[in-house]
Every structure is written in structure tokens, then in C-alpha cells.
Chains A and B, each alone.
Chain A
Amino acid sequence: MNRRLGALLLLMATQASAEIPEAERRSGYHDMGASVQAMQDDDMANPAMLWVLDGEKLWAQRQGAAGRSCADCHGEPSRMTGVAVRYPAFSESASRPISLDQRINQCRTEQQKAPAFDYESRELLSLSALVAMQSREHKIAPPDDPRLRTFLEAGAATFNRRQGQLNLSCAQCHEDNRGKRLAGATIPQAHPTGYPIYRLEWQSLGSLQRRLRNCLIGMRAEPYAYGAPDYVALELYLMKRAAGMPFEAPGVRP
């Protein structure tokens, strides 16, 4: 089955709400003010670059019982070009898709024989920002891997599932009401084009899972644990939904 037909069948099977036509897809970048856009556009002003610099140092440091650095196996960070735009991807050893953060930790534990970094730790965000930045301007390109199909369906189901005391689904806001105003904020289309992002509200860099957690807490739903398969499936679906959009990590958002 070709990819387009597969995607169509997936949509028919799982989509209850209004899918965004390709011509109307837009990054949250276009919904924010000019000053925040300028902050993202200028590497000297983008606060995420502080994490990228830390990531460059970590990349070259020998770590763990194996005494190996990322660079020892992978070479220069630029060799990671095009990697972030195809994550989450299926992991043989996990028998399920894993996020880029989980892939970095897999290298830590399996190759470097070092303890995994905590989710949202400065180290993990620094390395993921460094790797993600190598795919800037690349198009989001989820792998066409049949082993991902059931996980994609699970992610789509989560996207369309009403949750929490406020009884809302992701789709009700980010598709049906995209572009409208939730109090003072324009509701974006929820395309993960720039993660990890520096969010002004956080005063920090954070992962897509942290952002998803914010939405769940706003809906008064129980957030999933960081790294939970539910989050990875949702990430997978969001990347599929944004396939072909230009990647802009590390992004800045209000």
C-alpha cells in the first residue's frame, strides 16, 4: 500500500473532527508576535542556543563505563542532519516507537554504559536541541514504517479522545477551533515544528511532552508520565499530521 493511501485509510479510521487541509496548515510561529518571531530567527537572541552550546560540549565528552562520546561514534553533530524530523521511530529493542529523547538515552545506556538522563533535564534537552537543530529547514518526514501503524492509530485516537474534567479533546481546540482566541491566545494548529522549544512562559527549554502535559493539566486531565507510550504515540501522530512542514527547532514560543 502506498503511503498516501495508508494515510487516508488511517484518517478515515480515526478522524472524527475536521482535518486541516494541507494548504491551511501553519506553524504556531505565524501566530506569535513579531518580537518573539525575531527572537527565534536570530541565533544570538534565541535563548535555546544556550542549551545548544551545552549540547555541543556534551556531544564531545567521553561518558559512562564505555568511555565513549557521541562524537566517537557519530562524528560531528552535523552528521545528525535529517534525524529529528523522522522521530519518533520504531525501536527494535523496545519493540515500539521511541522519541528522540528516548533514542538519545538508548545511546547513553547501551553504547556509553552511562545512566539515562532524566526527562526534561538540562543535559537531555541540550543534546536533543543540538540534534534537532541539525534538521532546521528540513521537512518533517515521519518514517513510512508499517510497524508504526497501530501506534499511529493509537495516537490519533488519543488526539480525538475527550479527556479531563473539562471533557475536551485535542482536536476540538486545535482543529475545530484553530485560529480562534482562547482568552488572549490564538489557538495554534498543534504542529510540532520546533521542539524542543524555549517557551517564554516556562523561562526554559522544554520538550513536546512537557507542552502536551500543559494542555492536559489545562483540561484537568491526568497527565501521562514522561516517556509513556501514550505520549510517544501522540507525538508520532502529530509528526505524521505535520509531515512536509518545515522544521524550525529550536523554536521560541510565548
Chain B
Amino acid sequence: MLVAALVAPALAQDARRAYVVEDDAIRESLTGKPGDAERGRAIVGNRQVGLCLLCHAGPFPEERFQGNLAPDLSGAGSRWSEGQLRLRIVDAASLNPATIMPPYYRTEGLDRVARSFAEKPIFSAEQIEDVIAYLRTLRD
């Protein structure tokens, strides 16, 4: 079993929480509590915040333009456990180095990040947990 501990450096603006990767999952909530599915849906549907629908389609009949670069989010909650979803959002490249899925909670090892985003993860820990809570509701 692969067990890797990552201790995030202390950051002034968005202190990232430490997490533990086991197999292909992060089992523990980054905030220590479950997220809110309704807030998660709003994040996923927002092109400026979640960016998700640029690449993924999903059950958002009110959103006219959805991407097709990545799998449809419908059924994501059946395909993946909560912990598997968490690692895929936090740092999908740790599972597939060639992925186009951005690292939503990793800031190390990135190149030429714009100054306004430097040292900041795309999502906060709370946003990640909210998105996971929403994706878990998407069952086939």
C-alpha cells in the first residue's frame, strides 16, 4: 500500500491543510467535516470559480455551453468513492502525470504561475469538500 504524507507549508493567505494519500484516495476530509452539496453544485456550475464545465459536461440543464475534454460528471458519485474524488480534485496528476485536470489543491511544482494566483490553490479546503459532497450525489 502506498502511503504518502504531505505536510503543506504554512501559507499566509490560505493555510492549506495536511492530507494523507492512501492508495488512490485521500480518505479524511480536508476540513474535518463533510461539505455542503448545494454550495458544491454552485461552485461546479460557476465558470469563474469551479472552471469544471469548461472541460466537463454535467447535469446542468441551465448551462448551455459545456465542455467535452473530460468525462461527464453525471454518475461521478457512483464511479468514485469520496476519498477517490478528493485525491482526483486535490492533485489528479499524482495518479496520471499526463492529465489535463488541474491540481485544485496543490501549489508546489507549478511553473510560471500568475502573480495574483501565486502560492494559492484553485480551491480552498472548504470548496473541495463542498464539491465532493455535490459529486457524491451524482449517482447513476
Question: Which stretch, B3-11, B79-87, B105-113, touches the partner chain A?
Answer: B105-113
C-alpha spacing A117/B93, complex, angstroms: 44
Minimal beta-carbon separation of A61 from chain B (angstroms): 39
Given that A168-B100, A177-B100, A183-B47 are known contacts, is A163 also in contact with B68, CB under 8 Å in the complex?
no
What residues of A have a CB within 8 angstroms of the CB of B117 in the complex? 164-165, 220
* A161: Cβ under 8 A from any B Cβ: yes
User: Which of the four size classes fits the interface of chain B?
Assistant: 20 to 34
Are B67 and A182 in contact, CB atoms less than 8 angstroms apart? yes
Are B112 and A164 in contact, CB atoms less than 8 angstroms apart? yes
C-alpha spacing A177/B68, complex, angstroms: 9
Residues of A contacting B: mostly: loop
Minimal beta-carbon separation of B44 from chain A (angstroms): 13
Are A165 and B68 in contact, CB atoms less than 8 angstroms apart? no
What residues of A have a CB within 8 angstroms of the CB of B93 in the complex? 167
Given that A181-B67, A183-B47 are known contacts, is A165 also in contact with B100, CB under 8 Å in the complex?
no
Report the nearest A residue to B121, measured CB to CB. A165
What residues of A have a CB within 8 angstroms of the CB of B111 in the complex? 161-164, 167, 221
Are A184 and B64 in contact, CB atoms less than 8 angstroms apart? yes
Report the nearest A residue to B100, measured CB to CB. A172
Minimal beta-carbon separation of A171 from chain B (angstroms): 10
* B58: Cβ under 8 A from any A Cβ: no
Between A176, A183, A184, A216, the greatest number of chain B beta carbons within 10 A of the residue's beta carbon is seen for A183
What residues of A have a CB within 8 angstroms of the CB of B51 in the complex? 166
* A215: Cβ under 8 A from any B Cβ: no
1/0 contact string of A145-164 vs chain B (CB within 8 Å): 00000000000000001111
9 residue pairs from A and B, CB less than 8 Å apart: A162-B111, A163-B111, A163-B112, A183-B66, A185-B65, A222-B112, A222-B113, A222-B114, A222-B115
Interface residues of A (CB under 8 A from B): 161-168, 172-173, 176-177, 180-185, 187, 216-217, 220-223
Other A-B contacts than A173-B100, A176-B100, 14 sampled, CB-CB below 8 A, are A163-B111, A164-B111, A164-B112, A165-B114, A165-B120, A165-B122, A166-B102, A181-B66, A181-B68, A183-B54, A183-B66, A185-B65, A216-B114, A222-B112
